[in-house]
Structure 1
Amino acid sequence: MEAVFSPTELHQGYPDIVHGGIVTTLLDEAMAYALEFDGYRGVTARLRVRFLKPLRPKNVYRIIGYLGKVRGKIARVYSEIRDKDNNTMAKAEALFFINSEIGGDQS
């Protein structure tokens, strides 16, 4: 799964730095979509994020999510945010609890 994101000043925590909560949300969502693209639905059970370099407003970033191993009801999923020069800015690893009832029709 890949997506493109260009943060604005509204995404800042400290001046000229994208808030870590925004970065974490992007990584988590990329993993959730990667899981769904492979036919699973689930929720984040454990999430570990490594902030390697600060993201800056007005730059363009590529967000990548991919599925690792699935064992029973647990999936290991990964994601990264890369800049235009393909430098890794942040990365995450998570365990997702797989549950087919998640995200279904609520009516």
Structure 2
Amino acid sequence: MEKELIRDNFCFVCGKDNPKGMHLSFQKLEDRVYAKFSLSHYYQGYENVIHGGIIALILDEAMAYLQTYEERFLTGKLTVKYHAPLLAGEEVEVFAEVKEDRKRFKVTRAEIVRVSDRKKIAEAEALMFILKEKE
């Protein structure tokens, strides 16, 4: 039995109703999504360095935001490459786009860049499986 995916505004990354969430606000642009943010030391691994798992989580969420009302995505495979540490309090931007559009899946990519000098912090590619909405 297929379980319906329900949006309840409690997503850890973007849910406005989650009191322990990050509350990132993604914007849909023409062919990509975008968010600007900074993270506090609550998300660190080493002192003042944001945990790599949190970075992967944000990249994955940005790529999931590429979905439409007709399609829902589930991550099938996520590959992350780290370029530089993300420090607590640094202002960064995340961008995501569809690289390849197939019938049953999409290949997506995302990157996080530091606002001050445009240095790439991390990038990811994902295989996103498409779940068609029930009619």
TM-score under structure 1 normalisation? 0.88
What's the counterpart of residue 77 of structure 2? Answer: 46
| Residue 33 in structure 1 maps to residue 65 in structure 2 | yes
What's the counterpart of residue 76 of structure 1? Answer: 107
User: Relative CO higher for 1 or 2, CA cutoff 8 Å, sep ≥ 6?
Assistant: 1
| Residue 94 in structure 1 maps to residue 126 in structure 2 | yes
What's the counterpart of residue 12 of structure 1? Answer: 44
Deviation at 1:56, TM superposition (A): 0.2
Mapped to 2, the partners of 1:39 and 1:25 lie a distance apart of: 24
Give the share of equivalent positions with the same residue, in percent: 35
| Residue 63 in structure 1 maps to residue 80 in structure 2 | no
CA-atom RMSD, angstroms? 1.6
Q: Which deviations, in whole Å up to 9, do the C-alpha atoms of 1:8-36 show, x marking residues without a partner?
A: 010101111100111000000000002x1
Mark the runs of 5 or more structure 2 residues left unpaired by the alignment.
1-32
Mark the runs of 5 or more structure 1 residues left unpaired by the alignment.
none
Name the structure with the higher helix share: 1
- The runs of at least 4 consecutive aligned structure 1 residues that moved more than 4 Å come to none
Deviation at 1:95, TM superposition (A): 0.3
SS class of match (1:99): strand
TM-score under structure 2 normalisation? 0.70
Deviation at 1:40, TM superposition (A): 3.1
Mapped to 2, the partners of 1:40 and 1:67 lie a distance apart of: 13
Amino acid at match of 1:23: I
CA contact (8 A) 2:59 2:123 kept: yes
Deviation at 1:94, TM superposition (A): 0.5
Amino acid at match of 2:72: R
